[in-house]
Each structure stands twice: as C-alpha cells, then as structure tokens.
Amino acid sequence: MSNTNSCDETKRNLIKNTAYAVAGVGAVCAILPFIDSMNPAQDVQALASIEVDVSAIKPGEEKKVMWRGKPIFIKHRTADEIKQAQEVNLSELKDQQPDDARVKAGKEQWLVTIGICTHLGCVPIGGQGDYKGWFCPCHGSQYDTSGRIRKGPAPRNLEVPPYEFINDTTIKIG
C-alpha cells in the first residue's frame, strides 16, 4: 500500500460505494415479491362482485349482505328519512357531502353503504343514535340517515361501495 494516495482512495471509495448501492438495490428488489405476496391474492380479488335482490326489503328496513368479507348495509329509506337526510345544512357536517351524491338519482329510497365504521372498523348498529341512522358501539360514532358522520371519533362518512341497479329490484355490488 506504499503508493496509496488520496486519488486512489477516492477511486476506491467510489467503487466500494457503487458496490454497496448495487447490493442494496438488489436486496430491496429481492424483498419486493415477498412483501407483495402478503397483499390480497388473486382469488380474493376475484370474489369482488355480488348481486342482491332487494325486492323483499320493506321501507324502513335494512338488509346486511357480505361483500369482500365486509357487511354492506342496504337500507330502504322512508320518505321521512330521505327528507331528513336532504335537509341537513352541509356546513354542519364533518365530512361534507350532499345526500344526492350518496344515492343513485331516482332511487333515493335506497342507501347502500359499507357497514364499517370509518373509525376503527366496527359494524355500526342501525336505527340508533341521535340522528337515527347508525351508532357504532365501539367508540360511539353516530351517523345520520344518509350514513354521514355526525358525532364521535370517526373521520369520514360510511363509504358507498361501487354498485349499480341491474333492474328495479336487483343491485350489483362491486
């Protein structure tokens, strides 16, 4: 090492650092497939759509169905409940969204939401709470008849899943 000088050392460091960098990137790339293997598998993703017959749900009643392992609330709202949901002043809401953005036009009586509290994932109970929508027993979040968060720790409204009416009595979720 008698002829070591700072120039050699700089070159050597460059080679070393390049080697570390390449090995590091390689290691990260090698980990990626394993991390991705923990994501939802193909068969889980494939089960992502169901059809539900809603003709038997009477006004004021709610049906729970399972979609992607989660409960879906299909609520047949009464005229009163629709009126309540539409007349709310938006500025009172934590997560501001008009009722007509949460239902299909002309099908205002049907409210379809994912029945999972947006706080920590419990299933709220229907027809309870100050706003007569849903009440979450876990940490006390309260939703109105449009499934919007009104009180409690939940940050967002009950999510509306992607769905469409195939005919007047059948909806396809997902």
Applying CB under 8 A, the residues found at the interface with other proteins are 35, 38-41, 44, 48, 64, 66, 68-71, 118-125, 136-140, 152-155
Minimum CB separation from other proteins for residue 125, in Å?
Answer: 8
Contact 142, 24 (CB under 8 A): no
Minimum CB separation from other proteins for residue 143, in Å?
Answer: 14
Whichever of 54 and 138 has its CB closer to other proteins, that residue is 138
Q: Which residue has the tokens 């089960």?
A: 47
Contact 163, 171 (CB under 8 A): yes
Minimum CB separation from other proteins for residue 117, in Å?
Answer: 8
Minimum CB separation from other proteins for residue 65, in Å?
Answer: 9
Q: Which residue has the tokens 């979040």?
A: 141
Instruction: Name the catalytic one among 16, 64, 139, 156.
Output: 139
Whichever of 82 and 138 has its CB closer to other proteins, that residue is 138
Whichever of 127 and 153 has its CB closer to other proteins, that residue is 153
Q: Which two tokens stand for residue 150?
A: 């009104």
139 is catalytic: yes
Whichever of 59 and 155 has its CB closer to other proteins, that residue is 155
Residues labelled catalytic: 139
